[in-house]
Amino acid sequence: MENKTLLVDNQMSELRRLADFLDDLGEEWELNPGLVFSLNLVLEEALTNIILYGFQDTDKHSIEMEFSRTQIDQLVVSVIDDGHPYDPTQKEDPDLSLPAEERPVGGLGIFLIKKIMDKVEYHRNNNKNFLILTKNIKS
Amino acid sequence: MNVKITTLPDYTLLIIEGRVDTTNAAGLEKTMMEAIDGGCTRIVLDCTGLNYISSSGLRVFLVIQKKMISIKGHFNLCNLQPGIKEIFDISGFSSIFSLFADKEAAIIG
């Protein structure tokens, strides 16, 4: 089992640092570029939600992303924040059958997380949100 | 992200390169809306160099598509990288956008 942790502030500019971190992680763990793309997308969606909607105050908050690769070829990312309780797994999926004119603008982020990852779990512990994202990387 | 706009007699060619994410999606929307407000009714968006998109970028594409439909224009995308095409498929965007394999097809289509 290998572990890596990235701590970011609740600021959009941190997305740049996330992308750089994932590029480095991809090289170090020899992840294929498609997986790095997927991880970047999923974590951008999770972080953006937390940064935009997670906090009622204007204080600086730290959001932790813990990456681990298990021996059964799973990549697990835990996203941990101290914002107000929010379980994204409960969000309703968008209606993909609607024509462009009727498709609502936005609301795709959490759906993409659910579709791209193999498992998405949520729990609340010690006043923190834990979003556990698992991707099978068996090649 | 880089967007290059070329106005041609029959269409406007937009070449997009790099990443479209939450930090720059608003800028892309502004650039494209200005082109539409400037009178272009036929957009060809060449995505050859587009190597990352998140839901913020998809949102902009949908806003532009809605706008083009409302003015009875055309918004044709071409050369999507496989990773981008996969995101379009997952989002149901492949059926609400006109996607073409290459620029020539997108110009005619």
Model ipTM value: 0.94
Q: pLDDT by residue (tens digit) across A51-82?
A: 999 999 999 999 999 999 998 899 999 999 99
Inter-chain CB proximity B90 and A13 less than 8 Å:
no
* B54: nearest CB among A44, A99, A105: A44
Is the CB of A96 less than 8 angstroms away from the CB of B92?
A: yes
Q: Phi, psi (5° rounding) for residue A18?
A: -60, -45
Distance from chain centroid for Cα B60? 9
pLDDT digits (tens, 9 = 90+) for B10-57: 999 999 999 999 999 999 999 999 999 999 999 999 999 999 999 999
Is any Cβ of chain B less than 8 angstroms from the Cβ of A102?
Answer: no
Q: Which CATH class is domain B2-108?
A: alpha beta
B58/A108 Cβ within 8 A: yes
Domain boundaries, chain B: 2-108
Q: Which residue of A has its CA nearest to B97?
A: A100
Per-domain residue ranges of chain A: 2-136
Nearest CB to A44 within list B21, B82, B92: B21
Ordered strands of the A119-125 beta sheet: A2-9, A62-69, A74-81, A128-136, A119-125
For residues B87 and A41, the answer to whether their CB atoms sit within 8 Å is: yes
Say if residues A45 and A113 touch (Cβ distance below 8 Å). yes
Q: How confident is the model at residue A1 (pLDDT cuts 50, 70, 90)?
A: confident
CATH classification (class only), A2-136: alpha beta
